[in-house]
Structure 1
Amino acid sequence: MKASGIIRKIDQLGRVVVPKELRNLMDIKEVCFFIDKHGFYIESFDPKVHRLAIHRTIDPLGRITIASEIRRRFNWDIGQPLEIFTEQNRIYFVEYHNFCAVCREGSKLIPVKSKHLCYSCVQELLRNKEVFISHSNRF
């Protein structure tokens, strides 16, 4: 995948802007959604090929509404930054990790499953691990 260096945030209505350069380059007006393990990607919609897929029309400002199923699956809320990558005829949207999932700091990030935590939050979790273990035994 080729990184575009473009970051877009999800707005209040669950929409994200597809960069104009990519819309023009790929000549897309209507797109089809596909889920990947890290995010989702879109392709130009072809009714002969994508009959059963989720598809959306790109509005005049270049926005598409991300299907609620996709936002729920990845636990993406309003303001979630997404990094944009391209590969052949696809545009990928992947969660952008430039901050800690707990305190929103942006330095010394450590990947933990699908999120990133800063060093100080990891230290705090390790100091309080007995509390977490006792709470997890209740469930």
Structure 2
Amino acid sequence: MKPAGVVRKVDQLGRIVLPKSLRKRYQMNEGDPVEILVQGDHIILERFRPRCVFCSSMDDIVDFKEKHICSECLREMNRALG
């Protein structure tokens, strides 16, 4: 992990502001979902990208009954039920 060289304080509500240069660089816009990950004693922010609930793939995701499923797992489900 490479440090960005930016220090921000946490406000009373626990918020921090991401600098515009970082938001622009990582294509993060107002209202975009952000995933918060913990790795050891590091907190990692990532743009949220849906993952398949079965295999964790991020490729070719479809929404099915408010769940994210990749097309391959959906095909396998259809074969199993078919």
TM-score normalised over the length of structure 2: 0.55
Alignment match, 2:62: 107
**Consecutive aligned runs of 4 or more in structure 1 exceeding 2 Å deviation:** none
Alpha-carbon distance in 2 for matches of 1:64, 1:83: 14
Alignment match, 2:3: 34
Alignment match, 1:125: none
Aligned length: 54
Pair 1:76 & 2:28 matched: yes
Partner SS, residue 45 of structure 2: strand
- After superposition, residues 56-67 of structure 1 pair within 5 angstroms as 56-67=8-19
RMSD: 2.6
Query: Runs of 5+ in structure 1 lacking a partner?
Result: 1-32, 36-52, 99-105, 109-118, 120-139
Query: Runs of 5+ in structure 2 lacking a partner?
Result: 51-60, 64-70, 72-82
Alpha-carbon distance in 2 for matches of 1:59, 1:90: 19
Which structure is richer in relative contact order (CA contacts within 8 A, separation 6 or more)?
1
TM-score normalised over the length of structure 1: 0.34
Partner SS, residue 22 of structure 2: helix
Pair 1:91 & 2:49 matched: no
Q: Percent identity?
A: 25
Q: Which has the higher strand share?
A: 1
